[in-house]
Amino acid sequence: MKRTPTLWIRRAELAFVHTELRTGFTLARIAGRAARLEKKERNCMNARKAYDTAVRFTGKLQMTAPEEAELRAKLVKLQDELKLLGEVFGQRETTESREHRAGNGQKQ
């Protein structure tokens, strides 16, 4: 079967979202095990960035039903892990506003 550029791009986009999710899971695990509060907060914030990026790109992807179900399940699982770390969902706060607040006006 000949690969079309569209198929290649779709696969690359899907791989990107999976990479963001793996990164988010890794950072959430590091945050959960961190002894220092600064390390926990930093890794939690970066895990949330990965989650937010995956959500943003998932909405733009053309996926099969099984691909979509797999991604949605991973998003729910990562969101649950982030909630255990104290992240709040459903509010209009963005990653950038949290960074601004955490750094007293300085992006980190």
- Characterize 83-94 residue by residue with b for buried, 16 or more Cβ atoms within 10 angstroms of its Cβ, and e for exposed: eebebeeeeeee
In this prediction, residue 5 carries a pLDDT of 57
Q: Write out pLDDT tens, residues 12-56.
A: 999 999 999 999 999 999 999 999 999 999 999 999 999 999 999
Rounded to an integer, what distance in angstroms lies between the CA atom of residue 40 and that of residue 72?
Answer: 26
- Characterize 10-48 residue by residue with b for buried, 16 or more Cβ atoms within 10 angstroms of its Cβ, and e for exposed: eeebbeebeebbebbbebbebbeebeeeeebbbbbbbbb
| Mean per-residue pLDDT over the chain, rounded | 86
pTM, rounded to two decimals? 0.79
Using alpha carbons, list the distances in angstroms from residue 35 to 25, 43, 50, 82. Answer: 18, 12, 22, 17
